[in-house]
Amino acid sequence: MIVAIVVVLVVLAVIALTVAGASIRVLREYERGVVFRLGRVMDLRGPGLILLVPTIDRMVRISLRTVTLTVPPQEVITRDNIPVRVTAVAYYRVVDPNAAVNAVENYHNATLQISQTTLRSVLGGVDLDSLLSERESLNEALQHVIDAQTEPWGIKVTTVEIKDVEIPERMQHAIARQAEAERERRAKIINAEGEAQAATRLADAAEIIGRNPTTLQLRYLQTLREIGANQNSTVVFPMPIDLVKPVLDAIQQGGATSSAAPTENGALEPGESRALGAGGAGESSPAESAERVENRPDQ
């Protein structure tokens, strides 16, 4: 008899533990429970200890934390007919657990699919330059479109970011050439602007120097000082023609005076010198010399 009572007590204890395990649930702070009682949705439960009616109540756990959704690479044809592969990431969270359970079968897969289709449709309407340079505006557009479509499901899409844009190799070379040409254009423009500013400054300096010629001499001396700082430099010192001309005139006048001085001192004129040389008193012609030799008696 005692053994039968013990067996009954053990069976009742097991049944009680089984019923308690089926009716007691513990929800964490970030979890909520959607309870169905005979198929009807009851009030939202959680967090903490939840008591359910065994075999009558059924609970679905829903996490309220932000979920990171990685969108697989999508083949996109841009508006200028360039094929690219775009990878994105979306962040969403459940704001209405009842709608997330009752409005859609699987809210995670549904959000993933709607993110892929929205990514292709939105990025297909822009050109390649906008896709590469206007990431922020495109991210905002994607977030608004996806969030508007997932709102009836109780899903709030907080952020959508374009992670990577893969461009064909031939287009990469074309973009590199375009960037190089753009840099060369900017360099030429900057160089031309610098030359124009330098020419303007030089014109202003020439106007200032023209009003005061002494400034030019001071600038010339400063330039010589800068050149002389290098020991291996050779300085060519130009002399103004205004200073050299009086010296040249004096040299020319001195040369003319020295050529006229022998005539004034009694020297023979050039015609007289030729006459004396032909038959003057101090000299004899070759015919007279030969005659004197023939008339000389032999020794």
Instruction: Mark which of 43, 63, 83 sits at the end of a domain.
Output: 63
Q: What is the CATH number of the domain that holds 115?
A: 3.30.479.30
Do 73 and 163 sit in the same domain of this protein? yes
Relative to beta strand 155-166, strand 83-94 is antiparallel
pLDDT (tens digit per residue) in 127-163: 888 888 889 999 999 999 999 999 999 999 999 999 9
One domain, residues 74 and 113: yes
Instruction: List 50's β-bridge partners, or say none.
Output: 25
Q: 254 in a domain, yes or no? A: no
CB-based contacts of 98, cutoff 8 Å, min separation 6: 34, 41, 44, 154
Residue 64, pLDDT score: 93
- pLDDT winner (highest mean) among 15-24, 258-267, 288-297: 15-24
pLDDT band at 81 (very low <50, low <70, confident <90, very high): confident
User: For residue 96, is it within any domain?
Assistant: yes
pLDDT at 278: 39
Both 24 and 79 in one domain: the answer is no
Cβ partners under 8 Å of residue 218, min gap 6: none
Percentage of the chain modeled with pLDDT above 70: 76
The reported pLDDT for the residue numbered 242 is 63
In a domain, 211, yes or no: yes
Q: What is the DSSP secondary-structure string of 50-100?
A: EE--TTTEEEEEEE-S-EEEEEEEEEEE-TTS-EEEEEEEEEEEES-HHHH
Does residue 84 share a domain with residue 39? no
Residue 117 has pLDDT above 50, yes or no: yes
- Please check whether residues 97 and 133 belong to one and the same domain: yes
Whether 43 maps to a domain, the answer reads yes
> Strand, coil or helix: what is 239?
coil
| Whether residue 163 sits in one domain with residue 101 | yes
Q: How many domains does the chain have?
A: 3
Query: Quick one: pLDDT at residue 144?
Result: 95
On whether both 130 and 105 belong to a single domain, the answer is yes
The 10 Å Cβ neighbour count of residue 186 is 10
Domain that holds residue 181: 169-217
Q: What is the pLDDT of residue 273?
A: 42
How far does CA 126 lie from the centroid of its chain?
A: 23
Q: Is residue 289 part of a domain?
A: no
Cβ–Cβ under 8 Å, residues 114 and 150: yes
Better pLDDT: 74 or 270 = 74
Q: Has residue 280 got a pLDDT over 80? A: no
- My answer on whether 56 and 79 are in the same domain is no
Share of the chain above pLDDT 90, in %: 32
Tell which of 63, 88, 115 closes a domain: 63
Average pLDDT over the chain, rounded to an integer: 79
**Shared domain check, 115 and 197:** no
Same domain, 43 and 121: no
Domain boundary among 151, 186, 217: 217
In a domain, 85, yes or no: yes
Q: What are the two backbone dihedrals, phi and then psi, of residue 273, each rounded to the nearest 5 degrees? A: -60, -35
- pLDDT reading at 299 higher than 60: no
Is 57 a member of any domain? yes
Residues facing 89 on adjacent strands: 70, 161
Report the alpha-carbon distance of residue 229 to residue 188 in Å, rounded: 34
125 and 81 housed in the same domain? yes
Residue 45 lies in a domain: yes
Task: For residues 140 and 153, state if they share a domain.
Answer: yes
